Amino acid sequence: MTMSDYDELIHSLRERGHRLTPQRRLVLEALQHGDHHMSADEISQTIIAHYPSISVDPTTIYRTLRWLRDVNLVSETSLGQNHMVYALLGSDDHHHLVCENCNGVIEIDPSILEPVRRELQARYGFAARLAHISIFGLCARCQMGDAVTR
Amino acid sequence: MTMSDYDELIHSLRERGHRLTPQRRLVLEALQHGDHHMSADEISQTIIAHYPSISVDPTTIYRTLRWLRDVNLVSETSLGQNHMVYALLGSDDHHHLVCENCNGVIEIDPSILEPVRRELQARYGFAARLAHISIFGLCARCQMGDAVTR
DNA sequence: TAGCTATCTGCAAACAGTTGCATCTGTATT
DNA sequence: AATACAGATGCAACTGTTTGCAGATAGCTA
């Protein structure tokens, strides 16, 4: 996303009554800084590390992340752990294959789901939001004997 | 699932060290009784309604549901609410299109994801567990103006 | 530049679900 | 029928996340 795209986006959000508060800027900055998926707690720690004098309430971080997800700026993904992870959308998009046995994660090209997206739109008129989703199952190694033996 | 299938299943689970306790029977019975997806709390309420004298600890219900999911007897699905819902596998299998705006759920034929399952196995050797999954997005009605306006 | 108001924040309390641990029990073995 | 023990249960404490509410503030309007 270019800078002018970003400005335009903020402007269009403002027009719809959304506000760009210091807290929201800090969360966005943290997400830009950490280039991988981040948990709410990692975002909080990143803000504290960069601005020790500022404190952002965890509730606000959660609410900001939900807002960013709702306006399609970040993805929210479960990787089989006890917390969600978040990532800025628009570059390095991919999906995840999560092994339920060894907890390993394989990142895959998002194009594999394009036919499904098209069919859902055609058949049901449904616009699927398929961004950074997880597909759970068993990886090649864990399939041997383990699907039953676990 | 026929009765002998069921007996066979229990037998094979026992062989692997799993036990069929009264609590587990009650959870299974509740799932058979309610024909739709049920939350842990609904299962608890159903047990209380049928057997007022027996109490099953919520922790045990959660652990039983996780076990049933791990041995592939029930599905665990998020329908966009703040809790998971569970269903017995094997009949009436389907997937869900969940509208993030109006929270409506459309049930769809599971065959739509078969090509994806095959490709994941072929390309990555990954055995996807695609049972009663949810795909989030916007339904036809909510797409008009709402994808942006929300 | 000050005022207005819908939106946002922080705090406390709540909620769904998980974990640690001591005790109990289903089931195989004798 | 009695024994033994891996595996299951119940309780309490904890985790990640959400919600209710009162006070604060972004950003429009004059």
DSSP states along B19-41: ---HHHHHHHHHHHHS-S-B-HH
Sorting pLDDT into bands at 50, 70 and 90, what band is A145?
A: low
**Among A128-142, B96-110, B133-147, the least confident range:** B133-147
Distance, CA of B122 to C1' of C29, in Å: 46
> Does the pLDDT of residue B148 top 70, yes or no?
no
Least-confidence region, from A8-17, A70-79, B76-85, B139-148:
B139-148
Q: How far is CA A69 from CA A48, A75, A132, B73, B149, in A?
A: 23, 6, 12, 33, 14
ipTM for the whole complex: 0.88
CA-nearest residue to B122 within chain A is: A140
CATH of B1-90, one of 2.160.10.10, 1.10.10.10, 3.30.930.10, 2.40.30.110: 1.10.10.10
Domain ranges of chain B: 1-90, 93-150
- pLDDT at position B143 is 85
Q: Kindly report, residue by residue over A13-46, the tens digit of the pLDDT.
A: 898 899 999 999 999 999 998 868 999 999 999 9
Q: Do A140 and B124 touch (CB under 8 A)?
A: yes
Q: Which among A120, A136, A148 has CB closest to B97?
A: A120
Please tell me which of the candidates A97, A124, A126 has its beta carbon nearest to residue B126. A97
C-alpha to C-alpha distance for B143 and B137, rounded to whole angstroms: 9
Q: What pLDDT shows up at residue B91?
A: 82
CA A47 and chain centroid, separation:
18
- In single-letter form, the type of residue at position B77 comes to T
For domain A93-150, the CATH architecture is 2-Layer Sandwich (3.30)
Residue A18, nucleotide of least CA–C1' distance: C7
- Give which of B96, B92, B91, B90 is closest to B112, Cα–Cα: B96
Question: What is the band of B11 on the pLDDT scale with cuts at 50, 70, 90?
Answer: confident
A149 contacts B140? CB cut-off 8 A: no
The reported pTM is 0.90
Give the residue from chain A lying closest to B143, CA to CA. A127
The dihedral through the CA atoms of A94, B147, B82, B133 has a sign that is negative
Dihedral sign for Cα atoms in the order A134, B121, B135, B92: negative
